[in-house]
Structure 1
Amino acid sequence: MKSVYLPKGLLEYKIRKLFKEQASKQFSSEDVIRILNLENTPDQVENCLQRFVKHGFLSTGKPGKYVITRQERSKKKPKYFEGTVDMTRTGSAYILCDALPFDVHIPRKYMANALDGDTVRFEHFYSGKSRSKHDGKIIEVIKRANSQFMGVVNKYKSYATVFVDRAKNEFEIFIDLKNAKDVKTRDKVVVEITEWRGEQKSIPWGKIVQSFGQDESSDMEMNAILVNNGFKIEFPGEVISEAAVLTGEILGEEVAKRRDFRDVFTITIDPFNARDFDDALSLKHLDNGHLEIGVHIADVTHFVKPGTALDKEAFERSTSVYLVDRVCPMLPEKLSNELCSLRPNEDKYCFSAVFEFDQKFNIQSEWFGKTIIHSDRRFTYEEVQEILDQGHGEFYEQLELLNRVAKKMREEKMQNGAIAFESEEVEFELDSDGSIIGVHPKIRKDAHMLVEDFMLLANKKVAWYISKRPGALVPFVYRVHDLPDPDKLTDFAEFAREMGVSIFLDTPKQIAASFNQLNELAQQNEALKILEPMALRTMAKAVYSTENIGHYGLSFSHYAHFTSPIRRYADVLVHRILQDNLGGEKRLDKAKLEAQCLHISSQERKATEAERASVKYKQVEFIFGHIGEEFDGYISGFIERGFFVILSESRVEGLVGFDSLDEDYSLDPSKLKARGRHSGIIRKMGDQVRVRIVDADLDRRLVDMELVE
């Protein structure tokens, strides 16, 4: 049997299982590697065993060997676990559970009354019969992810319902007629679930809290996406009142506490439509021939204090949500677009990471602390890119120098095993009324990566500073990314092989190198782009945690989020912890901090779902205006009744039904291709095709296409 390399979570699970199953035996790291047939290094296994000793699961036995403790040996396997519901459109779900190295499948009949994102207690049992080896049953809902939803009213004789259509599932909330007097059938409303009625099958009942009438506009759909993913459209009055009294006045006594960068060349580089500028770069030539580059971040914590309504609301939201045509901010606009935003030609408070580079662009020193800056110029990415491409323009020398430093850091990151590609994004062109006039893939150029590389540097170095400071380890908020799932990797490698791409899985570095090679191949062959999102799905999701396991995708051993406190609450926590530990030591309760990490990670997942739903809706809205027109695309997948096509320019995906073709097709068991029964024509994943738009259903977010021969 071929040996395997296990990510940290699965490695710990397998070792724990080995010691529990053979509780009377002692094992060394070499024994564990041999028995479990691992590719992991002895040091990695040894570190895992040492962690188990530290946590009381193992104790040392004979020299170099470990044995399960008596206390652990006497423990019974927990009957129930806790986790987060990740719904599917079929009504079943998967439970994401930190205590287990795999997701647990919950069949629809065992869902109880759980909804997407809920925290639940569940029973896990091994199943050899279902499509998932790990099935389970939800016992109870511990915490609701969302209590308010937006939907459409239907009124009947004795009751009313609100039909809620979410990205992953749809359901109805029942309303007593006395609570639905002022609404009509087909009105759009916000409803709050107040109780669940029924013993055998609980049904949600609620009350209407806001009505929008029969508004079918795109604006209302965007609001529905926000509400149904658990984000408030407006801020509570108390939060707005707190923000209103805050002032951006620059006070002498405050300036005296800060390092003054107002005379140093400083710029911001952001999207053309950005209003919250939370980072700036400064550049200064030192007398010793070195460069001083500052990464200056809006000092949100100067205004948002712990325990205030502002802080509580920011934590509850945890992130800004960026839909196609709007932003649902984490902080009120008074803060995000005014007080904290690093607008040009204004003095602003910052929290900065400042680095000294030698002539070869190697870092010689670093400094972290509170500062005051004055931005000389607000650039857009497009403006900077044009200046770099032309080789002249406003502040060309400074921009070109920053770009060279960034490129060197980027090259070093890639040489260390970072993975180059990310999920492909699309960019929408909107007119003055907000109507979509164009959709195309977002192209990342040097201007984007220049900023990103300096942000990565600051994030990495802040995490390093906290981890390596003298004394006991300070509880901290790390941004962590575990190794890919071995089973998902194996399946993906087989799929990629069918398309002529080899993926090597023997070591983490080989995996990263294979993914980077795929990225290069996809730049040359558009058909291979369908593999990139599939490759990303093999990976663990990056999350926030007080346990640092490193960041696999970036190939960083230490990483945090420091650079976007206007839009991420994790960065707010990082700023506070860093400031408290620059001149002294302050330790937060680790368990409480970990609970905050879990909430922030959950909110981030919900924001991602909302953003994807927004893009999908706007893509269908865009193509609705092009029914009857023809476009080029490529086959992206097969189902029993047809194949999906992604349009090359807009990335709109639609279905070509087999029943619309000239002959019947038989689908290959691999679902990678289909063959015409009479002609023998084979249509396969990645094939270039030309299609005509037949229909676009905004309610269902579906597009129908037909093949143009």
Structure 2
Amino acid sequence: MMSKKNKPISAKKGKPSKQGTDKGQSISKRDILRIARLVFEQNDGRVLTYKQVCHAFGKTNMGQKRAIYQTLVSMAEGGEIQELEPGRFVRGGLSKERLEGRFDYRAGRASFIPDDPEIDTLPLSDRALANALHGDRVAVSFVRTRRGEYKRVQVVEILERREATYVGRLQISRGYAFFVSLNKELRQDVFIPEDKTMGATGHDKVVVRITDWDRKSKNPRGEVVDILGKAGDNSTEMHAILAEFGLPYSYPEAVEKAAEALSTEITEEELAQREDFRGVLTCTIDPRDAKDFDDALSFRTLPEGGYEVGVHIADVSHYVQPGSIIDDEAYKRATSVYLVDRTIPMLPERLSNFLCSLRPDEDKYAYSCIFSLDEEAQLRSARIARTVIRSQRRFTYEEAQEIIETGKGDHAEAILTLHRLAQKLRARRFEVGSIAFDRPEVRFELDEDGKPLSVYIKESKPAHQLIEEFMLLANRTVAERIAEPARKDISPALRLGRGGKPAFVYRIHEAPDEEKLRGLSDYVRRFGYKLKVEGGSSVIAKSLNALLADIKGKPEEDMLTMLAIRSMAKARYTTTHIGHYGLGFDSYTHFTSPIRRYPDLMVHRLLTRYLIEGKPSADAAALEDQCDHASEMESVAANAERSSIKYKQVEYMIPRLGEAFTGVITGLADWGFYVELEENKCEGLVPARDLSDDYYVYDEANFRLVGRHTGRTFTLGQRVEVVVAQADLARRQLDFALDEPEMKRPEPRRALRRY
């Protein structure tokens, strides 16, 4: 398949017809030259394969392709174009003998990504890599033959080493050690002098930093910078996951000390500047094991009818000042990280679990969004204010859900009214275009050593939806206050000193790529479903919701939901105000979780700047840089969280080697197909090499594996019976085998640790 970037613009003038040339007809060299020159002129600076050039001639046979290729070689010999390597040509753009960019190495494949976005990524051969490491900024040159033709791209200089660490184990020898890692970005084992091992043994998991790689040395040199502990221990493995993604697994002592020095006092001076909600019914609703309560709801009935609902958020900005040592560390982390068995907080524990946490029966500073709602949950007015609150009750989600279901319990009237209002907000949100993605969340019951005892799926119940809807309302209202300065129903007004919208942090979600949506529509049609891809965002969103409702409870539900999510753009932080497609909101931000998300803390500070202090707009470029960093760290944290889930899933399945399960095919490749078990959502690979009844070929266009002789097919969404064949904890991988008598079944085994 040809990428958009590489697909050449058709040579309109003089191009053969769409039917192409007759099979036996040759193309004159004159015609080839004329059309090829047009193609390269229209694609100046782009690297094209000879097959892409052939595309401009319509359908061609092998003889015609050979003639086109020979003509291109002649053009390269004459200097009209350049042949970078056999079959890859360029006109202009790469006339420099040297280019700068980034070296990329993943899973054994090396490439050079030029700084110039107009130049395509260039593959690198093994002999052209010099001593480059993944992520390094490098310079490359073009190696010529004696005739002056370009033979290959060669790394000639390391301009800047990427700061990186790697996780693995040592192979100890007398006087030295070699560091071995499963990280696919590392292309050589690392030589570690004996005095740089920190006394680590071969049983330890360590973190290594590369210090040097001399051109004459086969291996880079490095040093152990931390010993995580004995491989296989739960804490060691969780810390290893964090280290693999460059995430911290401990807090700097200086930051901890700075947090300990913060005062807990609620001062009269500060109270004078805040609205006092301590006499208003206020509660928190959180998971059973939560300690960082960053949001609370207050509730009271208004004399004129309707209700006042306050969304109160921990006022982290009161304690964490810009430029402080605590703020610098929080910015670096950008988010809390939630592994299976632990939370790695963005803020020191004294702040996240004590000073800022809205714990019951304690006076706390908050940043609040207070709403006046009628019986139909229609907004009458909203105001944003700094407040002081006192939570009277800490509910778990289970306790709040029981009140919703039974109508009985502490503050039942308030909880039931909040539930009713939240459901009206929710219904209205979906009516105007929110998309109801509801992917199952895997959770584990662990023993005291962190070993998984059971796996269960977290459900979104009305108690969760109650909190979700009021948090969405607050996030949306805060964004609208800044994006729509003329609004009279949200107070206070902006105090900028001049008109216009100030720079702000938005949470955006762009509309999906039309081509991806069409691909999804074509695929769901195979299952008998329909998806509209035209008619505007609201129409498409409603069609998506109808699809998600139709597949509920079907074998293909998880797989099609996953494909639908993949067709969407990724939500991110930016100063550009373009709305949130998935929620159907014209304006949206993150205001409600400053204990665990740095962008929310940025939003609190900007609200103070614009609504209270009356300062001019913050620097948009600086805010955008901070947004980019937060978005990147959010993605890194999510990958680490998924890795911890995968580790625990494999660990959970080790005692179940040889057991049979029912699953659904969720992915296909040349090397086999992936199956997600219905019972526990664990995913593993059925290798094609173990499908002994036939030789199977991957039919990418139709999302299936097809037996060459029997015609048997395996397709996405198909239910299959499998047994657990192998559990490789080091690689976090499961292998399954089909549970069929005629199918050769590998001996169930737990893979030996490879590092």
- Asked if Structure 1 and Structure 2 have the same fold, meaning a TM-score greater than 0.5 normalized by the shorter chain, the answer is yes
Shift in alpha-carbon separation, 1:104–1:688, aligned structure 2, 3 A: farther
> d(CA) in 1 for partners of 2:577 and 2:95?
26
> d(CA) in 2 for partners of 1:145 and 1:674?
40
> d(CA) in 2 for partners of 1:143 and 1:337?
40
Q: What is residue 642 of structure 2 aligned with on the other side? A: 612
Q: What is residue 555 of structure 2 aligned with on the other side? A: 526
Q: What is residue 626 of structure 1 aligned with on the other side? A: 656
Q: Which amino acid aligns with 1:318?
A: A
- Report the Cα offset of residue 302 of structure 1: 0.9
Q: How does 1:112-511 map to 2 (within 5 A)?
A: 147-156=164-173, 159-166=176-183, 172-180=189-197, 182-198=199-215, 204-212=220-228, 214-469=230-485, 471-506=499-534, 507-511=536-540
- The 8 Å contact of residues 234 and 450 in structure 2, kept in 1 or not, is answered as no
Percent sequence identity is 42
> d(CA) in 2 for partners of 1:83 and 1:243?
41
Which shows bigger deviation, 481-490 or 155-164? 155-164
> d(CA) in 1 for partners of 2:100 and 2:731?
33
Query: What is the number of equivalent residue pairs in this alignment?
Result: 624
> d(CA) in 2 for partners of 1:648 and 1:103?
46
Q: Which amino acid aligns with 1:215?
A: A
Shift in alpha-carbon separation, 1:202–1:661, aligned structure 2, 3 A: closer
Q: What is residue 644 of structure 1 aligned with on the other side? A: 674
Which shows bigger deviation, 315-324 or 409-418? 409-418
Q: Which amino acid aligns with 1:611?
A: E
> d(CA) in 2 for partners of 1:171 and 1:330?
34
- Report the Cα offset of residue 237 of structure 1: 1.6
Q: What is residue 540 of structure 1 aligned with on the other side? A: 569
- The 8 Å contact of residues 658 and 664 in structure 1, kept in 2 or not, is answered as no
- Report the Cα offset of residue 241 of structure 1: 0.9
> d(CA) in 2 for partners of 1:215 and 1:450?
43
TM-score by length of 1: 0.80
1:585 aligns with 2:615: yes
Post-superposition Cα deviations, 1:22-47, rounded to whole Å, max 9, x if no partner, equal xxxxxxxxxxxxxxxxxxxxxxxxxx
Q: Which amino acid aligns with 1:396?
A: A
- Report the Cα offset of residue 78 of structure 1: 14
> d(CA) in 1 for partners of 2:714 and 2:736?
16
Shift in alpha-carbon separation, 1:307–1:659, aligned structure 2, 3 A: closer
Q: What is residue 37 of structure 1 aligned with on the other side? A: none
Shift in alpha-carbon separation, 1:555–1:233, aligned structure 2, 3 A: same
Q: What is residue 708 of structure 1 aligned with on the other side? A: 739
> d(CA) in 1 for partners of 2:274 and 2:537?
43
TM-score by length of 2: 0.75
Shift in alpha-carbon separation, 1:141–1:545, aligned structure 2, 3 A: farther
1:698 aligns with 2:698: no
Q: Which consecutive residues of structure 1, in runs of 5 or more, have no partner in the other structure?
A: 1-5, 7-20, 22-75, 124-135
Which shows bigger deviation, 578-587 or 331-340? 578-587
> d(CA) in 2 for partners of 1:518 and 1:86?
39
Shift in alpha-carbon separation, 1:701–1:370, aligned structure 2, 3 A: same
- The 8 Å contact of residues 234 and 449 in structure 2, kept in 1 or not, is answered as no
> d(CA) in 2 for partners of 1:104 and 1:511?
34
> d(CA) in 1 for partners of 2:165 and 2:428?
47
Shift in alpha-carbon separation, 1:266–1:578, aligned structure 2, 3 A: same
- Report the Cα offset of residue 398 of structure 1: 1.1
Which shows bigger deviation, 300-309 or 162-171? 162-171
Q: Which consecutive residues of structure 2, in runs of 5 or more, have no partner in the other structure?
A: 5-41, 43-92, 141-152, 486-493, 741-755
- The 8 Å contact of residues 106 and 138 in structure 1, kept in 2 or not, is answered as no
> d(CA) in 2 for partners of 1:150 and 1:254?
48
Shift in alpha-carbon separation, 1:84–1:491, aligned structure 2, 3 A: farther
Shift in alpha-carbon separation, 1:567–1:156, aligned structure 2, 3 A: same
> d(CA) in 2 for partners of 1:576 and 1:247?
20
Secondary structure of the corresponding residue to residue 264 of structure 1: coil
Indicate the structure whose relative CO is greater, using CA pairs within 8 Å and at least 6 residues apart.
Answer: 1
> d(CA) in 2 for partners of 1:296 and 1:524?
37
Shift in alpha-carbon separation, 1:273–1:204, aligned structure 2, 3 A: farther
Post-superposition Cα deviations, 1:184-219, rounded to whole Å, max 9, x if no partner, equal 3343212233345439x9965432122245432132
Secondary structure of the corresponding residue to residue 185 of structure 1: coil
Q: Which amino acid aligns with 1:234?
A: S
> d(CA) in 2 for partners of 1:480 and 1:374?
33
> d(CA) in 2 for partners of 1:590 and 1:193?
37
Shift in alpha-carbon separation, 1:419–1:145, aligned structure 2, 3 A: farther
> d(CA) in 2 for partners of 1:411 and 1:617?
38
Shift in alpha-carbon separation, 1:141–1:518, aligned structure 2, 3 A: farther
- The 8 Å contact of residues 112 and 122 in structure 2, kept in 1 or not, is answered as yes
> d(CA) in 1 for partners of 2:101 and 2:294?
34
> d(CA) in 2 for partners of 1:437 and 1:221?
18
- The 8 Å contact of residues 99 and 114 in structure 2, kept in 1 or not, is answered as no
Q: Which amino acid aligns with 1:391?
A: G
Q: What is residue 597 of structure 2 aligned with on the other side? A: 568
Post-superposition Cα deviations, 1:309-350, rounded to whole Å, max 9, x if no partner, equal 100000011110000001111111111011111111111110
- Report the Cα offset of residue 681 of structure 1: 4.4
Q: Which amino acid aligns with 1:635?
A: I
Post-superposition Cα deviations, 1:638-677, rounded to whole Å, max 9, x if no partner, equal 3334322110121111122445456215335236334556
- Report the Cα offset of residue 244 of structure 1: 0.9
- The 8 Å contact of residues 91 and 169 in structure 1, kept in 2 or not, is answered as no
Shift in alpha-carbon separation, 1:176–1:511, aligned structure 2, 3 A: farther
Q: Which amino acid aligns with 1:231?
A: L
Post-superposition Cα deviations, 1:337-387, rounded to whole Å, max 9, x if no partner, equal 111111111111100011111233211111111111111111111221122
Q: Which amino acid aligns with 1:478?
A: Y
> d(CA) in 1 for partners of 2:181 and 2:514?
37
Q: Which amino acid aligns with 1:226?
A: L
Q: Which amino acid aligns with 1:564?
A: S
Shift in alpha-carbon separation, 1:436–1:146, aligned structure 2, 3 A: farther
Post-superposition Cα deviations, 1:587-606, rounded to whole Å, max 9, x if no partner, equal 22111111111111111111
Q: Which amino acid aligns with 1:648?
A: E
> d(CA) in 2 for partners of 1:119 and 1:373?
51
Shift in alpha-carbon separation, 1:168–1:266, aligned structure 2, 3 A: farther
- Report the Cα offset of residue 430 of structure 1: 1.8
Find the structure with the greater CA-based Rg. 2
Q: Which amino acid aligns with 2:246?
A: G
Q: Which amino acid aligns with 2:210?
A: I
Shift in alpha-carbon separation, 1:691–1:96, aligned structure 2, 3 A: farther
* Structure 2 counterpart of 1:655, from 680, 685, 690: 685
Secondary structure of the corresponding residue to residue 576 of structure 1: helix
Post-superposition Cα deviations, 1:39-71, rounded to whole Å, max 9, x if no partner, equal xxxxxxxxxxxxxxxxxxxxxxxxxxxxxxxxx
- Report the Cα offset of residue 420 of structure 1: 1.0
Shift in alpha-carbon separation, 1:648–1:472, aligned structure 2, 3 A: same
Which shows bigger deviation, 526-535 or 286-295? 526-535
- Report the Cα offset of residue 612 of structure 1: 0.8
> d(CA) in 1 for partners of 2:352 and 2:721?
45
> d(CA) in 1 for partners of 2:101 and 2:429?
34
> d(CA) in 2 for partners of 1:484 and 1:82?
33
Q: Which amino acid aligns with 1:303?
A: Y
